[in-house]
Structure formats: C-alpha cells, structure tokens
Amino acid sequence: MNALLTLNKLLAERAELDNTLASKLQKSILQEAIQGRLVPQDPNDEPAEALLLRIKKEKERLVAEGKLKRKDLVESTIYRGDDNKYYEQIGNKCIEINGEIPFDIPHSWTWCRLAHLVALISGTSYNKSDIQKNGVRILRGGNIQETKLLILDSDVFLPEAYMDEGKQIRINDILIVASTGSKEVIGKPAFITENILNTQIGAFLRIVRPYFDYYVAYLHIVFASEYYRRYIRSKVKGTNINNIKAEYIENMLIPLPPLNEIKRIVVKKEELYCKL
C-alpha cells in the first residue's frame, strides 16, 4: 500500500512538473514573439511604419464615413533619433521616451501606443434590483479564465432596456478585468472567438476592441504575455482596489512587427504550442 501511495505521489509530482514546464515554455515563446526573436526578419517585408500608416488611413476613412470619432485618431509617432534614443512626436511637441522602452526590437519593427490599434469600451452599471432570470447576459470577472470566456449558470441577466449595441461583445474583442481587489486577477484577458448574442460586459470589465482584424492574433500574443501582466501590475501597484484606467491601456507601448512578419509569428507560435 505504501509503495502504491508513493508511486501515485511521484506520478502526481511529475504531472505538476510537466504542467509547470509547459507554462514556462509558453511564456518564453510569447516573449520571444513580441521581441522579434521567434521568426527571422525578411528584408523584403514592408516595415512596420507602413502598417501603422495603413491603419491611420483606414481609420481616417472610417471617421469620414461617420463610423469612428475624430478622437479615435491618435496623433502620436514614436521614432529612434540619430542619438539612438526614442522620441515621441505628439502634434508640435516632441519628448524623449527612452526610459519607457522596455526592450529592444528589430529595426523593421516600431513602437506605438495601443490606442492606435484598439478602442476601449466600458461596462454596464446596473441596479441589483433589476437582475432577472433572462434577458441581457452580463459578464463579470468570474467569466474570464485562462484567456477564455466561460458562460456560467450564475451569470446575471438584465431587462432588454439595458441592451447597448456598443457594449455587446463581438468576435475579436479582448475582455479584461478592469477593477478587482486582487493583483493576480487584475488585467486578466479573455479572447472572444465567436459572436455571442445578447451578451455584454459589467462595470468591472472593459472591452479592448481592435479596429481591424489583421493584427488581432498578434494582440492575443501581447495580452497573453508576461510583458502585459507586468505592465498592468506596475500601474496598479500600491492600491487596495485595483482599477485599470483607460489611459493605462491606451498608453501601453506595443512592439509592432511588419504585417507579413505578424503572420509568420502567429503561425510559428501555434506550431510550437502544439508541440508542448
């Protein structure tokens, strides 16, 4: 009996070690991906500045069509000067931001603020007395587990009067926990891979909504990385109730690869994950 217990214990410890190792390898893959070390650079790729320009022009078109607001156009350009330091041009103002740059990236990449790539949408506030057994499903922090969205039996429902199309979750949305007392939970993301009708977020969550779908998979890599988690923890450090202000997300620095390299990174990441 003792031998059997010992064997079971050893097998359990081995399984735990396997899971820990897989988790560490996943984190390493993600970090390599966002630092430009997962796949080789191709000198024939258009540089990331061309991708940013494309995004800007497409957003300007949407503003002209009334589908975006002018405030969604971010007037910020980050570049490396002749002195090898990083600067940010905002209108007529230019400031050195070298101290903000967390790591080196390839020359074909660029840094940008996340606000270039996404819109932020706040959650629905409601009165507890309005909770009912059906209607509009309201997602909360417990629905986010391991970058996935879980539909729970304990989900809250509100009358149809609370329905807000802007807060309705959509495919490619990234949900994050924006307010919680736990530093481990704050910022946890969930990646929405399908449309779920009549479902929106509660006040303690935020929707990070990419403007265009061709960089969504890369943003998933960024939001699943330790870089993102460390950034969020640094912003809420020292507070009892942790709140992610909109500016924290909008101002987050994103290492942006060329579009063709984004595609190679996503394929390679999936390939490596399948081997773990």
pLDDT digits (tens, 9 = 90+) for 188-203: 999 999 989 999 999 9
Domains in the chain, CATH or no CATH each: 2-116 (no CATH), 118-253 (3.90.220.20)
Mean per-residue pLDDT over the chain, rounded: 92
Residue 114 burial (10 A CB sphere; 0-12, 13-18, 19+): buried
Residue 275, C-beta contacts closer than 8 angstroms, at least 6 positions apart: none
CB neighbours (10 Å) of residue 259? 18
In angstroms, the CA 214 to CA 29 distance is 21
Q: Encode pLDDT of 1-51 as tens digits.
A: 565 566 566 566 666 666 678 889 999 999 999 999 999 999 999 999 999
Backbone angles phi, psi at 127, to 5 degrees: -90, 135
What strands, in cross-sheet order, belong to the sheet with 199-201? 156-158, 136-139, 199-201
Q: Is the pTM of this model over 0.75?
A: yes
pLDDT class of 182 with cuts at 50, 70, 90 = confident
Q: Encode pLDDT of 44-53 as tens digits.
A: 999 999 999 9
Tokens 């949407």 appear where? 62
Backbone angles phi, psi at 32, to 5 degrees: -60, -35
CB neighbours (10 Å) of residue 118? 23
Backbone angles phi, psi at 263, to 5 degrees: -60, -40
CB neighbours (10 Å) of residue 34? 25
Q: Encode pLDDT of 254-273 as tens digits.
A: 999 999 999 999 999 999 99
Widest Cα–Cα separation across the chain: 77
And the tokens for 207?
Answer: 């929707």
Q: Give the model's pLDDT for residue 150.
A: 95
Q: Give the model's pLDDT for residue 4.
A: 59
Residue 101 burial (10 A CB sphere; 0-12, 13-18, 19+): middle
And the tokens for 246?
Answer: 């909109």
Q: Encode pLDDT of 74-118 as tens digits.
A: 889 999 999 999 999 998 899 999 999 999 999 999 999 999 999
Q: Give the model's pLDDT for residue 10.
A: 54
Would you give the end-to-end CA distance of the chain in angstroms?
Answer: 34
